[in-house]
Amino acid sequence: MASACSLVSKEQFLCSICLDVFTEPVSTPCGHNFCKACITKCWDNNDKCECPLCKKTFVNRPDIFVNTLVSEMAAQFRKSDDVKAASSNIQQQKPVKPVDVPCDFCPGTKVKALKSCLLCLTSYCETHLEPHQRVAALKRHKLIDPVENLEDRMCKKHDKMLDLFCRTDQLCVCLMCTEHKTHDTVPLEEEYEERKAQLERKKSEVQKMIQERQEKVAQMKVSMQSSLLWWPPSRDSSVLGREGFSSGRFYFEVQMKGNEWDVGVVRKSINRKGDIYYSPRDGFWVIWLRDGNNYKALDDPRVPLSLSQKPEKVGVFVDYEEGLVSFYDVQAETLIYSFTGSSFTEQIYPFFSPSLETEAASLIITPIKVT
């Protein structure tokens, strides 16, 4: 047997489908040899039985049996250094990564597929793709960039490739789906390219909108120094907003810092001298923080507030006609407290205080909307 091996070429014992030395070689009625698993998979994935090499069609699926002589010769070549050298080409290719499509014919460690064949329903690495580039019959097969689950590209009803897209029913169809013949159908590749272009346009529009909104917010942000009117230090540490309002709705946000602060809205005519008691009756709709974790709504009576986290930014919403003042944790998107049932009869001003105990702390105010 060793002398016989020296008289023949190893190419004679390579399966033209997997391009590896035969494993359980079988012969078709036309005389060509293939691995039993390779030809079985080829016929299972096609609606007709034909030879992958000469394209001879068999009306009935032939019975195939292992060719003992070819099997013994192939076993000898598997032990030879020539076969090891041939397989080393596969080993030198990059192993498949989790995001890659693996070659269906690589034994052992899978190699990244280079192409997928829509006729064979198989993905091939560079080495196993070689027959499709060399054999005339295989050259006619349609190759695409590697994709997983090639079976999903087949019509379940007709076992044909899904080559068309029905815009009427918004689904992929094959040429045999005659019920869609009068519908608006286009090649699948054309629909893909059009939708890809639409997605790119929509992406650009969204990015432009985001940029415009960011610029608008940046323009609305004002510093404490430019938007607030300080009360004289001899009177209080609190400040009022520069502009008041006497109708509609108003919303602003305050970035909170420090362990003590007051925030809310007040009447224009509030008492600014002597001892001041915060309450709606006295023209104050305010919440405060004391000692780092003691939150209260300064209603009448006082209402302790239990917050799951320390708000970094507080939103204040006022509906003048409804007599409503609501406070929100902007990041958590939760309601902190609402003053309801108030009756506003004069101008209302935003009200802020970093407290006398935290002179180093600062509050950053952003007016958002006035209606």
> Which domain CATH number covers 31?
3.30.40.10
* Total structural domains within the chain: 3
pLDDT band at 284 (very low <50, low <70, confident <90, very high): very high
| One domain, residues 180 and 247 | no
| One domain, residues 77 and 121 | no
Mean pLDDT of 222-251: 64
| One domain, residues 75 and 138 | no
Phi, psi at 232, each rounded to 5°: -60, 140
pLDDT band at 323 (very low <50, low <70, confident <90, very high): very high
| One domain, residues 24 and 70 | yes
Q: What pLDDT does residue 360 have? A: 45
Is the pLDDT at 273 greater than 50? The verdict is yes
219: in domain: no
Q: What pLDDT does residue 346 have? A: 93
34: in domain: yes
Is the pLDDT at 82 greater than 70? The verdict is no
Q: What pLDDT does residue 87 have? A: 53
| One domain, residues 252 and 342 | yes
Phi, psi at 151, each rounded to 5°: -60, -25
119: in domain: yes
23: amino acid identity, one letter:
T
Contact 284/298 with Cβ under 8 angstroms?
yes
Q: What pLDDT does residue 320 have? A: 93
Residue whose C-alpha is closest to residue 181's, from 169, 198, 192: 169
Report helix, strand or coil for 297: strand
Give the lowest-confidence range in 19-33, 69-83, 303-317.
69-83
| One domain, residues 287 and 182 | no
Mean pLDDT of 281-301: 92
pLDDT tens, residue by residue, 141-200: 888 888 887 777 788 888 787 889 999 999 999 888 989 989 999 998 888 889 989 999
Q: Strands 303-305 and 294-297: what pairing?
A: antiparallel
Domain encompassing residue 348: 239-366
| One domain, residues 255 and 335 | yes
Mean pLDDT of 109-115: 85
| One domain, residues 161 and 257 | no
| One domain, residues 285 and 173 | no
360: in domain: yes
Helix locations, the chain, DSSP H? 2-7, 36-44, 68-79, 81-92, 130-134, 136-139, 188-220, 224-227
Residue whose C-alpha is closest to residue 240's, from 367, 348, 358, 339: 348
Residue finishing a domain among 81, 105, 129: 81
Mean pLDDT of 122-130: 88
262: in domain: yes
| One domain, residues 243 and 362 | yes
Q: What pLDDT does residue 211 have? A: 86
Residue finishing a domain among 81, 103, 124: 81
| One domain, residues 170 and 252 | no
Residue finishing a domain among 154, 187, 220: 187
Q: What pLDDT does residue 67 have? A: 82
Give the lowest-confidence range in 18-22, 176-180, 229-233.
229-233
| One domain, residues 259 and 341 | yes
> Which domain CATH number covers 183?
3.30.160.60
Structure tokens at 96: 């498949």
Q: What pLDDT does residue 83 have? A: 45
pLDDT tens, residue by residue, 350-367: 988 876 554 445 667 676
Residue 85 to residue 75: CA distance in whole angstroms: 16
Element (H, E) at 284: strand 284-290
Contact 188/161 with Cβ under 8 angstroms?
no
Beta bridge partners of 286: 264
Q: What pLDDT does residue 2 have? A: 46
pLDDT tens, residue by residue, 199-226: 999 888 888 888 887 777 776 654 444 4
